[in-house]
Amino acid sequence: MVAVKVSGRGKDVDATVACAAVLALFNINVCDMIVCMAQVDRFSVTMPPELGEGVRRAAERQGISVSAWLSEAAADRLRNELLGAALDAWESEDGSFTGAELDAAASRLGLAPRPDVA
């Protein structure tokens, strides 16, 4: 089940149904837009005022809601943590990446090689 908002011909309809049911009930050709959203998990988040203001400004610059911006930021953080864990597992099995391997990876990603760390 998904929350659905259908807009078209001056009418808006909100419902919680399966997307397939919406397609069956409404002729797509007469709709301007159909937005299907999966169920959401709601949070109450607290942060320092200056961080909150930065989040609001960033979301506004991107033209998205604060909730969407925070969701994207959380998804990025989770991907980074999973990638870090995968790289740690790789290195534990095959040894640390060499400087040449790191430079090659940076080059493939279009990044400057990292300077040697003493």
- Please report, in tens digits, the pLDDT of each residue of the chain (118 residues total): 445 454 444 555 555 544 555 445 444 444 445 555 567 788 899 999 999 999 999 999 999 999 999 999 999 999 999 988 988 888 888 889 888 888 888 888 888 877 775 4
The neighbouring-strand residues paired with 13 are 6
pLDDT, one tens digit per residue, over 58-86 is 999 999 999 999 999 999 999 999 988 98
Give which of 27, 29, 31 is closest to 11, Cα–Cα: 31
Domain residue extents for the chain = 2-37, 49-108
Q: Which residues 6+ apart lie within 8 Å of 19 measured at CB?
A: 2, 4, 34, 36
Sorted by sequence, the CB contacts under 8 Å of residue 13 that are 6+ apart come out as: 4, 5, 6, 7, 26
